[in-house]
Amino acid sequence: MNRVHIKTYGCQMNERDSEAVAAMLRARGYRIVGSEDECDVMLLNTCSVRDAAEQKAIGKAANITHRKKKNPDFVLGILGCMAQNRGAELLDKLPDVDLIVGTQKFHQVPDYLDNLRAAREAGVPIGETIIDIGEEAGSQNTIKDHLSPESVEGSGGAADLVPQVNAFVSIQQGCNMDCAFCIVPKTRGDERSRPMDDIVTECRTLAARGVKEITLLGQIVTSYGRRDYAHTNGISPFVQLLERVHEIEGIERIRFTSPHPRGFKEDLAAAYGRLSKLCEYVHLPMQSGSNRILKAMNRPYSRERYKEIVDSLRAVRPDMYFSTDIIVGFPGETDEEFEQTRELFEACNYDMAYVFKYSIRSGTPAADMGDQIPDEVKEHRNQVLLDILKKNSERRNAALLGTVEEVLVEGPDKTGKRFTGRTRGNRVAIFDANPRLIGQLVPLKIDRASVSTLYGELQLAGVDGLEADGQNHIPSSSGLMTSAGSQF
């Protein structure tokens, strides 16, 4: 009972949490397998941002429980935000679940699995489901372990030896913003930051392993350390952290997500001009372009202030790439208010976006608001923004044709025939390369582009120690996502 498969739903924070759980389990002697058909233990790390996300995970868990009839020793665990949000209530629909662990107790998963394994090996009945959704002081400091390159086995049983070239580093957990539509304060708890020295040490360790790109993660990442560290010469704790990570030898790129517009003061805008490793890409959630709707959402900024932030960042980096989050059809949103969102959306000229149709989320203030918007109206408004976004992405990518972009080679693409990487602007690129280029920053001449993907040829002549292979260009899908949100 030592083969574990972890299936992750939701955001990058959930991906990071799953990665840490996997690393802790492997340290205990468990094998992390890539195929759910080959596991003895299935862990679902869940999302609660939308009810649909919870229902998807519940449906998956219900489908898996049939394995218990064939194999009573099979273990099913539910982790993360849905576990935190629903707790023992999940047993009404999923009575065969063995383990329910909330967002502040990920580090307890190895102990609980050890206990389950020991009981079953001794032939002792398990009894009641293990449920742990309590708060724990210092839990933000437990998500620090990373999967090593050889730690996940594929369906064929062979270890995946592709080196890790980029990594998520959790710097802060929880949220104090209380947006009217959001369940995160309930599922993740109050805002809690990790010590800066610990974060920097983790980044140094990753750099020593060959990681070139770091993404700093938090629910409101720009709020990092605001209660723990002083502003120094007008520099916020978050920007101080950026400066320290920037100094680490071996780290070539820095990104962060997810910020809040109120965190973009002058010091953060200026950092894009003086920290060369900070990639010219910003995820800046707008949510709405209507001041009345923003107030109803409990978002503490105006449409005017939001546009000022965008303009200030483009003043520092004219080539800045922007992505955003938008909710259409928030309760009471009129046609005029949606038009204000459309105008601001178009004015900001986004390269990428997640566009969500508002859905009622029980446990949030917005769930009790009147004047819910009909689904057909939300669908129309959603499509209006996606059409604008598609044109923006096509125009931006077309402008890159014939240019040379710096790409970090991450590994084989989904076909296994070519290689993939990302530009500093967070665009996915597909190209031919030698496997030894994985982890290298290489120049790529763009010769073709879809809505979301760039294709090109490496330009390695004269670059010491590097050489290119032949080029074969193949198409991919448009990149349109239509699940919980829609994006290009």
What CATH number does the domain containing 165 carry? 3.80.30.20
Q: Is 279 annotated as ligand-binding?
A: no
Are residues 415 and 290 part of one domain? Answer: no
The pLDDT value given to residue 70: 85
Q: Is the pLDDT of residue 159 over 50?
A: no
Are residues 183 and 80 part of one domain? Answer: no
The pLDDT value given to residue 152: 53
Question: What number is the average pLDDT over the span 256-268?
Answer: 96
Are residues 213 and 348 part of one domain? Answer: yes
CA distances from 314 to 24, 115, 305, 393 (A): 42, 54, 14, 17
Q: Which residue among 139, 161, 195 closes a domain? A: 139
Type of residue numbered 350 = Y
Mean pLDDT, the chain, whole residue set: 89
249 in a structural domain:
yes
Are residues 451 and 385 part of one domain? Answer: no
Question: What number is the average pLDDT over the span 345-360?
Answer: 95
Distance CA(198)–CA(238), nearest Å, equals: 14
The model's confidence at residue 363, banded by pLDDT at 50, 70 and 90, is: confident
The pLDDT value given to residue 441: 97
Q: Is 39 annotated as ligand-binding?
A: no
Q: Which residue among 139, 160, 179 closes a domain? A: 139
488 in a structural domain:
no
198 in a structural domain:
yes
Are residues 185 and 74 part of one domain? Answer: no
Q: Is the pLDDT of residue 479 over 80?
A: no
The pLDDT value given to residue 149: 52
Nearest to 256 by CA among 182, 307, 211, 323: 323
Are residues 430 and 340 part of one domain? Answer: no
Dihedral (Cα; 400, 405, 409, 413), 10-degree rounding: 10
Distance CA(399)–CA(419), nearest Å, equals: 23
The pLDDT value given to residue 68: 82
Q: Which of 68-72, 166-170, 270-274, 291-295 has the lowest mean pLDDT?
A: 68-72
Q: Is the pLDDT of residue 456 over 50?
A: yes
Question: What number is the average pLDDT over the span 420-441?
Answer: 96
Question: What number is the average pLDDT over the span 102-111?
Answer: 94
Are residues 61 and 10 part of one domain? Answer: yes
pTM metric for this prediction: 0.86
Q: Is the pLDDT of residue 52 over 80?
A: yes
CA 402 to chain centre: 31
Q: Can you read off the two tokens belonging to residue 382?
A: 């959603």
For residues 85-101, one letter each, b for 16 or more C-beta atoms within 10 angstroms of the residue's C-beta and e for the rest, the string is: bbeeebeeebebbbbbb
Are residues 312 and 404 part of one domain? Answer: no
Question: What number is the average pLDDT over the span 377-383?
Answer: 98
Q: Can you read off the two tokens belonging to residue 446?
A: 């763009």
Q: Is 348 annotated as ligand-binding?
A: no
What CATH number does the domain containing 52 carry? 3.40.50.12160
Q: Is 179 annotated as ligand-binding?
A: yes
Question: What number is the average pLDDT over the span 442-458?
Answer: 96
The model's confidence at residue 269, banded by pLDDT at 50, 70 and 90, is: very high
487 in a structural domain:
no
The pLDDT value given to residue 379: 97
In which domain, by residue range, is 281 found?
141-398
426 in a structural domain:
yes
The model's confidence at residue 157, banded by pLDDT at 50, 70 and 90, is: very low
Are residues 344 and 228 part of one domain? Answer: yes
Question: What number is the average pLDDT over the span 17-39?
Answer: 92
410 in a structural domain:
yes
The model's confidence at residue 270, banded by pLDDT at 50, 70 and 90, is: very high
The pLDDT value given to residue 474: 33
263 in a structural domain:
yes
The model's confidence at residue 98, banded by pLDDT at 50, 70 and 90, is: very high
Q: Is the pLDDT of residue 256 over 70?
A: yes
The pLDDT value given to residue 243: 98
Q: Phi/psi of residue 326, each to 5°?
A: -135, 140
| ∠ CA 383-388-394, rounded to 5° | 120
Question: What number is the average pLDDT over the span 334-349?
Answer: 98
416 in a structural domain:
yes
Give one word for 138, left, alpha or beta, with left for phi > 0 and alpha for psi -120 to 50: left
Q: Is the pLDDT of residue 487 over 70?
A: no
Are residues 109 and 198 part of one domain? Answer: no
Are residues 273 and 197 part of one domain? Answer: yes
Q: Which residue has the higher pLDDT, 237 or 71?
A: 237
Question: What number is the average pLDDT over the span 292-299?
Answer: 98
Are residues 301 and 205 part of one domain? Answer: yes
Report the percentage of the chain scoring pLDDT > 70: 90
Count of structural domains within the chain: 3
Q: In this predicted model, what pLDDT tens digit does every residue of 226-235 receive, in sequence order?
A: 999 999 999 9
Q: Is the pLDDT of residue 480 over 50?
A: no
The pLDDT value given to residue 18: 93
Q: Which residue among 371, 398, 425 closes a domain? A: 398
Type of residue numbered 220 = I
The pLDDT value given to residue 22: 93
What CATH number does the domain containing 407 carry? 2.40.50
